């Protein structure tokens, strides 16, 4: 298998973090330079079907994009430790939090960076108001996470799951535009510190 990766981008980092948590080392990593447009070549588009990373080439016919789909596939090959749930209730709760984090934390923060950081002007026609609105959405989402993390050690349950990897990689990425959860989000800060000291947090960074 080959993982098409890009070192500074947050979505491939989800997969690298996930692989490190599971100790997966037998996948070839291919670096794709987004700023040189290597994800837009006809060859890459034919293989991946979409101009983005990560992409996991499984065999000659199948390449999976979408970081969460890639991680689900890897979880089925390497089931331990578990990141997507051990029973129907846990699986649903993890899915619920993963979706909330993707839509309410990861997407707004990604838009805040794409529309707010000068380097990303190479990939996006930037609209400052889009950056500001998305940043405000992310601030609201931090309140939701803070409420949840007041009740639970990690986002979905009492251990690290996919939901935590999605949230931590997004919040860490948004440091590029000086995003930081507000000081009073004490449970978010406690959780984020616990996430960022995990060895997998520095996988491939």
Residues that bind ligand GSH (CB under 6 A): 9-11, 34, 39, 51-54, 65-67, 123
| 37 vs 26: CA distance, rounded Å | 27
Question: Cβ of residue 175: shortest distance to ligand GSH, in angstroms?
Answer: 15
Q: Which is nearer to ligand GSH, 10 or 181 (CB)?
A: 10
Q: Which is nearer to ligand GSH, 121 or 123 (CB)?
A: 123
Task: Give the DSSP H/E element, type plus range, for residue 63.
Answer: strand 63-65
| 204 vs 70: CA distance, rounded Å | 17
Question: Cβ of residue 173: shortest distance to ligand GSH, in angstroms?
Answer: 8
Is the separation of the CB atoms in 120 and 158 below 8 Å? no
Strands lying side by side in the sheet with 28-31 = 28-31, 2-5, 55-57, 63-65
> Which residue of this chain has its Cβ atom nearest to ligand GSH in the complex?
52
Question: Cβ of residue 115: shortest distance to ligand GSH, in angstroms?
Answer: 12
| 2 vs 70: CA distance, rounded Å | 11
Q: Which is nearer to ligand GSH, 34 or 200 (CB)?
A: 34
Q: Which is nearer to ligand GSH, 66 or 139 (CB)?
A: 66
Question: Cβ of residue 88: shortest distance to ligand GSH, in angstroms?
Answer: 25
């Amino acid at each position: 298998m080959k993982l098409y990766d890009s070192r500074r981008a947050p979505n491939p980092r989800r997969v690298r973090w996930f692989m490190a948590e599971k100790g997966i080392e037998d996948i070839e990593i291919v670096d794709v330079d987004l700023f040189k447009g290597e994800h837009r070549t006809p060859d890459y588009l034919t293989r991946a079907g979409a101009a983005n990373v990560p992409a996991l080439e499984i065999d000659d016919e199948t390449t999976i994009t979408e970081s969460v789909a890639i991680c689900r596939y890897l979880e089925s090959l390497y089931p331990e430790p578990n990141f997507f749930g051990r029973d129907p209730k846990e699986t649903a709760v993890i899915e619920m939090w993963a979706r909330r984090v993707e839509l309410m934390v990861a997407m707004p923060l990604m838009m805040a960076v794409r529309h707010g950081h000068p380097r990303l002007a190479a990939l996006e026609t930037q609209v400052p108001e889009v950056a500001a609105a998305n940043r405000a959405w992310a601030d609201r989402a931090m309140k939701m996470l803070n409420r949840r993390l007041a009740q639970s050690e990690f986002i979905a349950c009492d251990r690290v799951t996919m939901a935590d990897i999605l949230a931590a990689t997004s919040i860490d990425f948004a440091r590029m535009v000086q995003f930081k959860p507000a000081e009073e989000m004490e449970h978010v800060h406690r959780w984020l510190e616990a996430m960022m000291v995990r060895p997998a947090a520095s996988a491939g960074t």
